[in-house]
Chains A and B, each alone.
Chain A
Amino acid sequence: MGVGIQVEHLNAWYGKTQSLWDIGLHIPANHATALIGPSGCGKSTFVRCLNRMHETNPTARVEGTVRIGDVDIYKDASPVEIRRRIGMVFQRPNPFPTMSIYDNVASGLKLNGFRKRRVLDEVVEKSLKSAALWDEVKDDLKKKSGASLSGGQQQRLCIARALAVDPEVLLMDEPASALDPVSTSKIEDLIFNLKSQYTIVIVTHNMQQAARVAENTGFFLMGKLVEFDKTHKIFTNPSDKRTEDYITGRFG
C-alpha cells in the first residue's frame, strides 16, 4: 500500500544556484499527483529530492524535511534504503542493456542479494502483469535483451522493474515524453490502475496528461511551488494569476 508524503520548507541547490525555494506540500497516499510547469522550473529537482536521487550529483545540497509515511528521509535512513521504498521511472526508458527482460525486472531484488528462484519467478510475472507487458514478452523473458524491445515496451519494462521491489511510492519523471501517442496512452492507463496500490507522483509537460491521470496538481515556476490543489480546480479555476497564464498557454 502507498503512503503519503509530507514536504516542509524544502530548499535545494546545485552548486551556488538555488533551484528550489521553500517548498511545502502534502501528497496524499494512493493518489496520483501531477507536477507541471515550464522547463527548468524545478519540478524534476523536486521529485529527485523525494528519493534522494539528486545526491548522485556531487554539487547538490538540500535543506528541509521530507517525510515519507513516518520516515524523515534525510534523518532516519540512508539513500539506498530510501530508494528501495520509492521507485523511480525516468524520462528516457533505461533498461539494463546487457540483461534479459527477466533479469531487468528481477534486478532490484537480485542485486540486493535476493536469490530464491520461485519467488523471483512470481515477482517477475506479477510485476510484468501490473505493467501490462506480460502478454507481449512472456515467451522470450530470458532470451531477449531488455534493450531489444520498442521504446514504449522498454518504458513499461522500467515500470515493472520499479514495481518488482514493492515500493510504496512511484516517482515518474516525464515517463511518456519520449514515447509515441499509443504508448503514452498505455502508460496513462497504467498509472490510472496503479494508483490504487501506490502513491504516484508524475512530472509532466503535458497538461492534458496531468488532467487525465491526477487527482491533485502542483504548478512550479522558477523553483517555487505557485499553487497546489485539486487538478480540477487548477485547470478550471486557479487561484493564482501565474497558474492561469500558464495553463491557458500565455507563456511556457
Chain B
Amino acid sequence: MATLPVRSVGHERLLKVRRSFTNHLVTVLAIVSTMVVLVPLIAVLGYLIYKGASSLNWAFFTHTPVPVGESGGGMANSIVGSGIILAIASLMGIPLGIGAGVYLAEYGAGTIFGEAVRFTADVLNGVPSIVMGIAGYALIVSKQQHFSALAGGVALAIMMVPTVARTTEEMLRTVPHAVREAAFGLGIPKWRTILSISLRTAMPGVITGCMLAFARVAGETAPLLFTAFGNQFWSTNINQPIGALPLQIYVYALSPYDEWHRLAWAGALVLIAMIMVSVTLVRIFASRGMLKGGQH
C-alpha cells in the first residue's frame, strides 16, 4: 500500500479551497455559455412572436395575397404550397436517404464505391442551397419549360438525401453486432434482418435525422427561387408554379410597404410554428408503441 504524502493542516485547507473554487468556476462557465447560446434564440423567437402575432388573424390562413393598397389578405396559398413542396421533398428524399444510409452501413462498408458515396454525401451536404436550386432548374424546369411545385420538391429532396443518409448510416452502426448475429442465427435472411431488426432498432435516431433534414429544408428560400418560383394565386397543381412561405416572406420583407412587412413577420411566425408542430407530431407518433425498457 502506498501512503499519501503527509501535508500540514494549513496546506490541506488551502487545497480544499482551491478545489472548491475550481469546481464553482467551471459550473459558472458552463451556465454562462448556456445563457450565451439561449439568449439569441429566445430573443429571435420572442421578437418574432411580438411582431408576428399582432398581424395574425383568420384571414391570414384563409385568404390569398391582395394587391398593394388593399388591406387584408393572407398567405393561404403559400401555406398550402409549402405543405405540398415539403410533402414531395419528404416522399422522395427520405426513402432515398434511408436506402442510401442502409447501403452505406450494411453493404458498402469498406468498399471503394461505398467510400465514394459517403464522400459525395458529405460534399453534397456542404453545397450552398442556391446551387440546389440551379440543379432543380437544369434538371426539371428547363426540360419542362415551366416552373413547378414538383421542381421545388425535387430541389429540396436532393438537399434532404445526404443528411438522412448519413444519420441513417450512423444510427445503423450503433446497433450492436450481437443483435444482427441473433437474427442470422435464427435463419432470418439479411434483407429481413436489416428491415425488421437493424432499422427498427435504429428507428428513433433515423427519425431524428429525417426531422433535422425536414426542418432544414422547410425554411429554404434559395432552392425555390427558380424552381417553385412562387405564386400570388391559389394553386395545388404540382405542375404549376406554386407559392411557398419562405418565398412569400422574402418578397414581402423586401417590399417598401408596411402592410406587407407585417404579413412577412406573420409568415415567419407561421413557418416556425409549422416546423415545430410537424416535428412534435412525428415524435409523438413515433414514440407510440414503444415498449417499457425498450432502449438500452
Contact = CB atoms under 8 A, between A and B. Distances in A.
Decide whether A and B assemble into one complex. Answer: yes
Given A90-B178, A94-B179, A96-B201, A56 B293 contact: no
A78 to B, nearest CB: 9
A81 B187 contact: yes
A161 B184 contact: no
A147 B175 CA distance: 14
Contacts of B203: 98
A145 B292 contact: yes
Interface string A144-175: 11011000000000100110010000000000
B78 to A, nearest CB: 39
A80 B182 contact: no
B295 A94 contact: no
Contacts of B192: 111-112
A186 interface: no
Interface string B146-187: 000000000000000000000000000000101111111111
Contacts, number: 94
B185 A51 contact: yes
A107 interface: yes
A67 interface: no
A165 B187 contact: yes
Interface residues of B, number: 27
A82 B188 CA distance: 11
Interface string B71-113: 0000000000000000000000000000000000000000000
B57 interface: no
A97 B185 contact: no
A87 B188 CA distance: 12
Given A145-B294, A161-B186, A96 B197 contact: yes
Nearest to A140: B292
A108 B186 contact: yes
B199 to A, nearest CB: 10
A32 B211 CA distance: 52
Contacts of A111: 183, 186, 188, 192-193, 196-197
Given A94-B176, A96-B179, A111-B196, A87 B295 contact: no
Contacts of A162: 185-186
A156 to B, nearest CB: 14
Given A111-B192, A145-B292, A82 B197 contact: no
Contact of A148 (B181, B185, B187, B293): B293
What is the interface of chain B mostly: helix, strand, loop, or mixed? helix
A83 B291 contact: no
Interface in A131-153: 143-145, 147-148
Contact of B294 (A80, A81, A147): A147
B179 to A, nearest CB: 6
A214 B269 CA distance: 72
Most buried by B among A90, A98, A99: A98
B189 interface: yes
A100 interface: yes
A190 interface: no
Contacts of B201: 96-98
B296 interface: yes
A97 B187 contact: no
Nearest to B295: A97
B19 interface: no
Contacts of B182: 90, 94-96, 158, 161
Interface in A56-90: 56, 79-85, 87-88, 90
A83 B187 CA distance: 5
B181 A80 contact: no
A89 to B, nearest CB: 8
B283 interface: no
A107 B293 CA distance: 19
Given A97-B294, A144-B292, A161-B186, 11 more contacts: A53-B185, A56-B181, A83-B186, A87-B186, A90-B178, A98-B200, A107-B196, A111-B186, A145-B291, A148-B294, A162-B186
